[in-house]
Amino acid sequence: MKALGLQKGEGWPKEIKQDDHSHPVAYYTIKDKLRNMLRKNERAKFVLTGHILGGALAIIFPLVFALHEEEWMLKRLEGVYTFGQPRVGDEKLVEYMKEKLSSNGVNFMKTLGIQRSEGWPKEIKQEDHNHPVAYYTMRDKLKDMLRRNERAKFVLTRHNLGGALAIVFPLVLVLHEEEGMLKRLEGVYTFGQPDEPDELPED
């Protein structure tokens, strides 16, 4: 929390004097830059993403927006996508964030579900996580749908970062030897997909 900008004895004041600090304070510096960029382009939106601790900070960022009643910035937030994110907060915080994100049309994914120190276990306990873990939730729903209709197939498609996630999904199916599901996958179609790294992180 201190890494993002939590102030000792003050919590999260809406504004601070950057001159009082030896280094730029992350939340306030990023918020000011975002505010200026969004005001210059009324159609622009932005995405928050992070890995492990960075994922925890990424989900805390819109929480502070909500505390500061920065509703107009929340409405410009396209989504929050985290990788290997540790659990953040208790059930009350989860419910508060769900309401704030959904009411402002913000997508949240604990992306695809890589687990810190475990990689991609074939099964996880969803109740151990604050939010549904995307890969496992999608896989289980797809399995159920495909069982109901033996002739059904499915397609994966997304845009930008979502395109990268769409191509990672069948990779995890391969790792888990889900041959039955792979044979029912009609195709993967991505738009503006960023390049995938040569190696996926294991933690």
**Quick one: the chain helix, strand, coil %, rounded to 5?**
45, 20, 40
Per-domain residue ranges for the chain? 1-118, 132-195
pLDDT given for residue 181 in this prediction: 92
DSSP per-residue string spanning 147-189 = HH-TT--EEEEEETHHHHHHHHHHHHHHHTT-HHHHHTEEEEE
Q: What are phi and psi of 120, to 5 degrees?
A: -120, 75
Contact predicate 190/163, CB 8 Å: yes
pLDDT in tens, the chain (203 residues): 665 666 777 777 777 776 666 677 777 888 889 899 999 998 898 888 887 778 788 888 888 888 888 889 888 988 888 776 777 777 788 788 888 888 878 776 655 555 555 667 888 776 666 666 777 888 888 899 999 998 899 988 877 666 777 888 888 899 899 999 999 999 888 877 666 544 544 44
3-class state of residue 85 by DSSP: coil
Report the top-level CATH class of 1-118. Answer: alpha beta
Q: Report how far residue 120's alpha carbon sits from residue 169's, in angstroms, rounded to the nearest whole number.
A: 11
pLDDT given for residue 201 in this prediction: 47
Contact predicate 100/61, CB 8 Å: no
The pTM of the full predicted model, rounded to 2 decimals, is 0.52
Using CA atoms in the order 171, 177, 178, 182, what is the torsion angle rounded to 10 degrees?
50
Q: Report how far residue 14's alpha carbon sits from residue 12's, in angstroms, rounded to the nearest whole number.
A: 6
Q: Is 108 exposed, middle or buried (0-12, 13-18, 19+ CB in 10 A)?
A: buried
Strands (E), 8-93: 46-51, 77-83
pLDDT given for residue 177 in this prediction: 92
